């Protein structure tokens, strides 16, 4: 009889232990990040950004990151339940963005990622979180005020970009197009007087012009030559994450953090930003 009672007691203890273990697992928060462990929790989240765009996404020599997209991505990650030390930023060049999401290399991408019909077939987009425009960056004392003023002037952009080609084709056919390897090279030419204007998205131009060595030397022409709706890319079909990111973006705008990020990253170039776009409102 004593043996039987001991057996019952042992079984009871085991049952209680199993119940407690089950309750403990159920209380863990599954963040759903790319660093998820076997128990369903998550240690980190990988986010795709640019490493070489001042004001947008840039990696400093000390390994730190700065830029508008970095601020947006950090805010979103925190709303998803991650602390800053749990965020791992991954360099995601433009040509590799869709592939990186498909492979699962990153959980989401915030990298001056303009929403368009072709990309929308391959990934899902949260946002938009910024409405940018193709524009011109010129010297602060330049008399270029409209696109046609570029006729006979030297216009710079990076090799393979459609921005300068569009200006030359649609607005200033007599512009002298110069294509260089990087925007930084174009900017150096603009500072030295060998280039009259640089063209790409106004947010990117503002980021470059906001660098300490260039403050006060350049201005945006404010021509709004195109509409670029920046979105946060997630893997195609991941509507749950997309919805969570949209909620985070709405909160970022509502509490003033979005405007602060705009002012901090683009303000020195006199960037006149559009109001924060409404989620799902794509301006054609």
21 in a domain, yes or no? Answer: no
Residue holding tokens 């403990």? Answer: 24
Confidence check: pLDDT of 59 > 80: yes
26 lies in some domain: no
User: Does 3 score more than 50 pLDDT?
Assistant: no
Q: What is the CATH number of the domain that holds 76?
A: 3.40.190.10
Q: Is 55 exposed, middle or buried (0-12, 13-18, 19+ CB in 10 A)?
A: buried
* DSSP H helices in the chain: 2-26, 68-79, 97-103, 117-120, 163-170, 183-192, 202-209, 239-254, 257-266
143-155 residue pLDDT tens = 999 999 999 999 9
- Verify that 142 and 125 share a domain, yes or no: no
d(CA 147, CA 164): 11
> What gap in Å lies between CA 10 and CA 8, rounded to an integer?
5
The predicted pLDDT at position 163 comes to: 85
Is 197 found in the same domain as 66? no
Q: Are both 108 and 184 inside the same structural domain?
A: no
Predicted local distance difference test score (pLDDT) of residue 76: 98
What residue numbers bound the domain in which 213 lies? 134-220
Starting at the edge strand found earlier in the chain, the sheet holding 57-59 runs 52-53, 57-59, 65-66
Single pTM value for the model: 0.80
Secondary structure of 190-255 as H, E, C letters: HHHCCCCEEEEEHHHHHHHHCCHHHCCCEEECCCCCCCEEEEEEEECCCHHHHHHHHHHHHHHHHC
- Is there a single domain that holds both residue 213 and residue 196? yes
Burial-class residue 227 by CB neighbours within 10 Å (0-12, 13-18, 19+): middle
Number of domains within the chain: 2
| Domain shared by 194 and 256, yes or no | no
Q: What is the pLDDT of residue 79?
A: 98
Work out the mean pLDDT of the chain and round it to a whole number: 86
Q: Where does the pLDDT of residue 33 fall: very low under 50, low under 70, confident under 90, or very high at 90 and above?
A: very low
Residues 206 and 170 occupy one common structural domain = yes
pLDDT of 13 > 70? The answer is no
pLDDT over threshold 50, residue 16:
no
pLDDT attached to residue 42:
59
Length of the chain counted residue by residue: 284
> Could you give the percent of the chain with pLDDT greater than 70?
85
Q: Are residues 141 and 265 in the same domain?
A: no
Together in a domain, 107 and 248 = yes
Is 72 a domain residue?
yes
């Amino acid at each position: 009889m004593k043996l039987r009672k001991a057996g019952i007691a042992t079984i009871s203890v085991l049952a209680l232990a199993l119940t407690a273990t089950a309750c403990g697992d159920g209380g863990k928060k599954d963040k759903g990040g790319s660093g998820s462990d076997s128990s369903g929790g998550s240690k980190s989240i990988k986010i795709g950004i640019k490493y070489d765009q001042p004001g947008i996404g840039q990696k400093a020599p000390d390994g730190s990151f700065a830029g508008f997209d970095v601020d947006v991505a950090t805010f979103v990650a925190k709303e998803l339940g991650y602390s800053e030390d749990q965020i791992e930023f991954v360099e995601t060049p433009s040509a590799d963005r869709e592939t990186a999401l498909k492979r699962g290399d990153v959980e989401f991408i915030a990298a001056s990622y303009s929403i368009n019909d072709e990309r929308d077939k391959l990934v899902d987009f949260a946002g938009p979180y910024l409405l940018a425009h193709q524009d011109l960056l010129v010297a602060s004392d330049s008399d270029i005020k409209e696109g046609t003023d570029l006729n006979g002037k030297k216009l710079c952009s990076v090799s393979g970009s459609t921005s300068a080609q569009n200006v030359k084709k649609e607005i200033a056919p007599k512009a002298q197009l110069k294509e260089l390897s990087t925007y930084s090279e174009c900017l150096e030419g603009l500072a030295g007087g060998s280039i009259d204007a640089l063209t790409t998205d106004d947010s990117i131009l503002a980021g470059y012009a906001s660098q300490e060595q260039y403050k006060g030397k350049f201005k945006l022409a404010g021509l709004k030559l195109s509409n670029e709706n920046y979105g946060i890319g997630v893997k195609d079909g991941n509507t749950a994450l997309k919805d969570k990111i949209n909620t985070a973006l709405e909160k970022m705008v509502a509490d003033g953090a979005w405007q602060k990020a705009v002012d901090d990253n683009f303000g020195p170039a006199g960037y006149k930003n559009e109001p924060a776009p409404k989620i799902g409102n794509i301006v054609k």
